[in-house]
Structure 1
Amino acid sequence: MAQGLECKGKDLPRAALESLALEAYRSHALTAAQLRSLQGFETRMQVDAFLKEHEVYDFTAADFEQDRETLRQLRLREAQH
């Protein structure tokens, strides 16, 4: 099985490390800085791209609601002018 995964372009130890790192980040056991160091990324943008590639977003429902309220207020302000 390991050889099959490696033949499909997946480095099994690397894939396992990525999976563990992603789960640790999702559960807040690992910070973005720690993830960056663990994965060997040089910039925060690389961390963000890695997280986006794996559909991991550091965005809560409260963050979404706050953004929604901000947009509503901006639209009201724009409509008044």
Structure 2
Amino acid sequence: MDVHLEVPEEFARHLASDSKGLARVALEALAAEGVRSGKLSAFQARSLLGIQSRYEMDGFLKAHGVLLDLTLEDVQKDSDAALASSR
């Protein structure tokens, strides 16, 4: 799915100055908010962003102020999803 956003030039200049580019900044914000709100699992956000390791994802979430309140069941679901997608 493609999403197009109208961003006023004054804001776009500031956001686009990030070395990752405006599209990546927007995608990262979407992924972080998805995890924060519970609409995405950390594993789903990791796949969306192309992040290779769980440790890197943990760092990404921490950098974006997303704290996970994981239960053993949550960890098992993430583990099962990762195993299923690697087959």
Q: What is the TM-score normalised by the length of structure 2?
A: 0.60
Compute the displacement of 1:22 (Å).
0.9
Question: Which structure has the greater CA radius of gyration?
Answer: 1
- Between the aligned residues of both structures, percent identity stands at 45
2:47 equivalent in structure 1? 37
1:6 is matched with: 16
Corresponding residue number in structure 2 for 1:49 = 59
Which amino acid in the other structure matches residue 54 of structure 1?
H
> What are structure 2's unaligned runs of at least 5 residues?
1-9, 71-87
TM-score of the two chains, using structure 1 as the length reference: 0.64
Structure ranking higher on relative contact order (CA contacts 8 Å, 6+ apart): 2
Offset at residue 25 of structure 1 (A): 0.6
Structure 1 ranges of 4+ moved more than 3 A: none
| SS of alignment partner, residue 41 of structure 1 | coil
Q: 1 CA distance for matches of 2:37 and 2:26?
A: 17
Matched, 1:16 2:26: yes
The structure that is helix-richer by fraction is 1
Deviations 1:23-72 (A, max 9, x none): 11111110111011001011100110000111211138xxxxxxxxxxxx
